[in-house]
Structure 1
């Protein structure tokens, strides 16, 4: 079984189109594992039945930690584009976070700050390497922005835990960004 393809389908289902899979996310973005497995297996896409062990393996080998299992439920940790707001756990981030972006987007960011655009939250990385990898999806030589989270918190910005490499927030004011 191709776990990369399976991981992409799970991400799509949990982050972007749960209704296409007849999944209902709770307020924290979780769905019962049994419900997800049923819909994946019902499709007949995979050469064998998808199991909870497959889901656990995807999570264990994933460099980006996109999903999490708690008890009998699974969720995508970040990147949601669905209209439903997924409530995240507030936290105190490191003093500095990073954001990889395109040269084209930079002037607008420096004018307006960072906004979530088509996502629910702005995604920030804990290190330059992660921000660079993210930025390279849209620009071969991305601009890495430095985010002063302490200054952001002083003006009322709340940060949320994404995973061990990603922090989330609703926006980042331009005054808290250094290019």
Structure 2
């Protein structure tokens, strides 16, 4: 079984179109595992039956930690585009977070701040590497924004835990953003 393709379908079902799978997300975004498995297996798209062990393997081996199983339920941790607001666990973010974006989007972001666009939350990364990887999905040379999360949080913005590398927020005001420029070491010059 192709677990990467299965993971993508699970993400689609839990983040974007649960109704296509006859699933109903609860207020935290969970659905019973048995319902998800029934929907996946009913489609006939997989050469063998999808099991809970397959779901657990996807979660255990994923670098991005997109899904979570709690008791007999599963959910996507972030990235929802469903109209229903998914409640997230609030938290105190690191002092600085990062966001990778495109050259095309930058002028609008600098004017209006970061907005969630078609998603429910703005996704923020804990490090430059993750923000760069995310940004490269839409721009080969992404712009990395540095977010003063500490100031934003002190000003009353609520941050939510996405996973161990992702934080979520409804929006980031422009005064909490700057363009990240890596510090470069001076060149050694021969005399």
For structure 2, the residue ranges without an aligned partner over 5 or more in a row are 180-191
Q: Which residue number corresponds to residue 89 of structure 2?
A: 89
Displaced runs of 4 or more, over 6 A = none
Determine which structure has more spread, i.e. the larger CA radius of gyration: 2
Tell me the SS of whatever aligns to 1:53: helix
Q: Report the TM-score when normalising by structure 1.
A: 0.99
Cα distance in 1 between the residues matched to 2:13 and 2:153: 33
Q: Which residue number corresponds to residue 176 of structure 1?
A: 176
Shift of 1:156: 1.4
Tell me the SS of whatever aligns to 2:91: coil
Q: Which residue number corresponds to residue 104 of structure 1?
A: 104
Shift of 1:154: 2.2
In the alignment, structure 1 residue 22 sits paired with structure 2 residue 22: yes
Q: Which residue number corresponds to residue 133 of structure 2?
A: 133
Tell me the SS of whatever aligns to 2:78: coil
For structure 1, the residue ranges without an aligned partner over 5 or more in a row are none
Q: Report the TM-score when normalising by structure 2.
A: 0.93
Tell me the SS of whatever aligns to 1:5: helix
Note the aligned Cα RMSD (angstroms): 0.5
Q: Quick check: 2:92–2:153 contact (8 Å CA) kept in 1?
A: no
Tell me the SS of whatever aligns to 1:63: coil
Tell me the SS of whatever aligns to 2:90: coil
